[in-house]
A and B are shown apart, each in its own frame.
Chain A
Amino acid sequence: MSQANEYIVFLGDDIESKNTAVKTLTHDDSMKQSRLIKQSSSDNDVAAMHIFHYGKINFDNGQKVHLLRVESETQLKLLKPKWENNALGVLIFVSTDRESPEKYLEDLLLKHHDFLSTKSIAIGLVNPSPDIPIDTRKYNETVTMTGYNAAVFEIDVTNFQDMSILLQSMLMESLHGLASA
């Protein structure tokens, strides 16, 4: 198996949203196959890759951006230290119908501060009731209070445009405004 060129981490405990988000971004319905877990490898890196890897965006020159799903502290630790520096950024998914979503976001940002503080991040608020708009400002306050600089958007994970804006904002944060584009 070839190793990841670069990767984007999908963080947050809303697994279904993350799965759908990857499908939407990659137009890949075969995602389940690509995330089959093979833990028997003696190579820890390869094993970790199998655990996390569940999608990729391919480019003509053979380069790839791997999309990695992370659920637990243990998995995040496995990403360190070797791959940490290959992360393009992190997309965080928060379902707003969970209990205390702002508190969840705050806890998540603080818990993974060591990893996230050096990364470009964007936060998607998954709204199960699109008819009732989310007040993104209180989430922005949470982000600012915890010392991050990140875009926060209400998203529909099945909508390519929403996912595109989320990903673009993360990339743009990284590129500092696409100064050299």
Chain B
Amino acid sequence: MQQVKVSVYLEGFDSRSLDSFKSFFDEKCASNFEVSTSIESAKIIIADHDVVGATRLSHLKLKLPYTPFILLSKRDLNRNDHQVISLQKPLEFNYLKKTLESLTKHYCTKKTMIDLRPLLLEKMNKEATLDSNTTSYDPSQSQLRSPQLTCLVGGESHKSFDENNPHSVMKIVFDPDRYLMGSILKAMKRTSYEKKMLDLTNLNARIIIDPDEKKIYTFAKESVLRPICLMELRETSTVKIIKGGNKGDKFQTILREHANEITQWSWDAFLWKLSLWTSRGKIPKNIDIRKPVHISEWPNLTRLHPIPHAIAIAAMMKNSHKTMVEIAKQLKIELRFVLAFFTACHTLGLANNSKRQSDTLFEPESKSNSPEKQSLLHKLFGKVNKPQTESPQDINQGVSL
């Protein structure tokens, strides 16, 4: 991989001095540094104090408060304060080299990141609040406690959850087979195998599953379906085959007769929401909360109902092998969001417990190790992270026919 060079801006030097610095960087510093043509993008500034003068230096410091300076002078300036180091001319190669390396280590990485982050986050939050046409949850807003969200991820924050306490674990698991969800999942499995359109009814909820176009048709509003998903089944579902499939007369007649009440879904969008409605921030009983989890691929989040922190959770489940409790702790978010996201992904067949030993043996190497770069990433993330005030139809989840 290409070596990362630290750019150094030289202020107050003539062309011959510039050439000397270039030679110094190439020959004595193993090309770890390079002369920058832009003061704004430079990581370190070396200034000839005797030429530049105190006024100009004050101006530069004001303009670039986070950039470290090396001041050169024939006199002993005796000035080694915050991010400013003074060296007396003539310079010793080794001493200058060590000074540059020291500044690179301390100021071009950690200091810059720490100093910039609050500014970055502040700006991001400000812009996010201003955006009104968005569909993501703002974690700082009270909507995280709203009834609408509770219907999807539950209302329990599980702050006192103890994964080693069976009573505690029982509170965060559910059995999909006891609900409409389990019945629908079985029917979908069957329809995928038999390639036949199925008409399923239970608890007065009717659902048609189309394996050819991977569509689901429901006959009730979400406000009706949602509570039904929480009701335990008392009898097995009635399942009928629709002869002729989606092109057949029977299905076309159903479409005509129920045109005003039918909602059409993609399989994934329906399963995602069905899972959220049913689980409400719980995980299926066959999942071990104490074992690490992973997702095989990112869910198509742009076309699925949003879950707070879904992108951060997805990135962590994809790139590391941690337990859900560890993920919640590391992201500093409520456990219910991780549980809800996992269950939704699990229902789509994307998530499960990690079973391979190799999954937990090594921590995958991050592609972006530079703290400076990470700082900027945080900033960018905040900039594009917006609060959500969506309706499901806005994001193409359910299309009323």
Q: Would you call B190 an interface residue if the criterion is a C-beta within 8 Å of the partner chain's C-beta atoms?
A: no
Residue among B116, B320, B377 with the most chain A CB within 10 A?
B377
Q: What CA separation (Å) do A155 and B2 show in the bound complex?
A: 33
Q: Would you call B187 an interface residue if the criterion is a C-beta within 8 Å of the partner chain's C-beta atoms?
A: no
Return the chain B residue nearest A121 by Cβ: B367
Q: Which of A169, A174, A181 contacts B298 (CB 8 A)?
A: A169
For the complex formed, measure the closest distance between the CB of A122 and the CB atoms of chain B, giving whole angstroms. Answer: 9
Q: Is the CB of A179 within 8 A of B330?
A: yes
Q: Is the CB of B302 within 8 A of A175?
A: no
Q: Is the CB of B367 within 8 A of A161?
A: no
Given A165-B311, A176-B319; A154-B297 close (CB under 8 Å): no
Q: Which of A3, A57, A169, A177 contacts B380 (CB 8 A)?
A: A57
How many A-B contacts at CB < 8 Å in the complex?
175
Q: Is the CB of A181 within 8 A of B331?
A: yes
B331: which A residues are within 8 A, CB to CB? 177-179, 181
Q: Which of B123, B303, B374, B386 contacts A59 (CB 8 A)?
A: B123
B312: which A residues are within 8 A, CB to CB? 172, 177-178, 181
Q: Would you call A13 an interface residue if the criterion is a C-beta within 8 Å of the partner chain's C-beta atoms?
A: no
Which of A29-37, A105-113, A133-141 touches B?
A: A133-141
Interface set, chain A 20-61, CB cutoff 8 A to B: 25, 43, 57, 59-61
A177: which B residues are within 8 A, CB to CB? 312-313, 315-317, 319-320, 327, 330-331
Q: Would you call A68 an interface residue if the criterion is a C-beta within 8 Å of the partner chain's C-beta atoms?
A: no
Residues of chain B having any CB pair with chain A under 8 Å: 1-2, 4, 36-38, 40-41, 66, 116, 119-120, 122-123, 131, 133-136, 214, 266, 297-298, 300-303, 311-320, 327, 330-332, 364, 366-368, 373-374, 376-381, 383-386, 390, 395-396, 399
Residues of chain A having any CB pair with chain B under 8 Å: 2-6, 25, 43, 57, 59-63, 65, 80-81, 84-85, 88, 118-120, 130-131, 133, 135-137, 140, 143-144, 149-156, 160-169, 171-181
